[in-house]
Chain A
């Protein structure tokens, strides 16, 4: 089964800056999801983008999906210290399951 590969593995920025992280995958999908994990906690669903959507917004989050390049990006605008977390893309497989990437660790400095 495929796994999304996030890039970069780690990212450090100042508050107020934008953070961009990317996810690439190998086989066709019908949707892609992004999750956040605060240190030592469970994952929280952020956003789902379907294969017929190119861009989706949720608050300060913007997700794009390019099915021709098999890649997605998550942009967090005007980042805050509270955005410090790991971010994972998740790809569907076998109907009900998801396979998660290894994540991007984002550190936002006040």
Chain B
């Protein structure tokens, strides 16, 4: 059974903290994605990685960075958390080079920044 796992289901952090969200997939997928989901705005792409150490900014990269040192692991980093980063964060993975490929999602991390 294919799987994308995220390190935490719920996370509460304080403003200014550095936050790490981790995502691991066991499907040997090249592509990995980080989205945030907010009511009324749908899913918005933060960052995309198409290979180890390769990354591409999505639609809303400001305030975030990413790390992909191993193929199966993609980390999202909030350098200095702010209250407007309170959101649901979703990680996904897919095979490379075909828009016919479905994306497989993790269960999500609901982050609250106080």
**Contact yes or no, A100 B42, CB < 8 A:** yes
**Chain A hits for B97, CB < 8 A:** 95-96
Q: Of B31, B40, B94, B98, which one neighbours A102 at CB under 8 angstroms? A: B40
The reply to whether the CB of B104 lies closer than 8 angstroms to some CB of chain A is: yes
CB distance from B40 to the nearest CB of A (A): 7
- Residue A60 CB within 8 A of the other chain: no
Q: A78 within 8 Å of B by Cβ?
A: no
Closest to A91 in B: B99
Residues of B within 8 A of A99 (CB): 45
Interface residue? A3 (CB, 8 A): yes
Contact B45 A41 (CB under 8 A): no
Q: Tell whether, in the assembled complex, residue B102 and residue A33 are in contact, meaning their CB atoms are under 8 Å apart.
A: yes
- A102 near B42: Cβ-Cβ < 8 Å: yes
B52 at interface (Cβ–Cβ under 8 A)? no
Residue A88 interfacial (CB < 8 Å): yes
Q: Is the CB of B100 within 8 A of A50?
A: yes
Binding site for B on A (CB under 8 A): 1, 3, 30-31, 33, 40-45, 48, 50, 88, 90, 92-93, 95-103
Seed contacts A40-B110, A97-B33, A102-B42; 17 additional CB < 8 Å A-B pairs: A1-B59, A3-B42, A30-B99, A30-B100, A43-B92, A45-B103, A88-B42, A90-B103, A92-B99, A92-B100, A95-B98, A96-B31, A96-B94, A97-B45, A98-B99, A98-B103, A99-B45
Chain B residues near A (Cβ < 8 Å): 4, 31, 33, 40-43, 45, 48, 50, 59, 88, 90, 92, 94, 96-108, 110
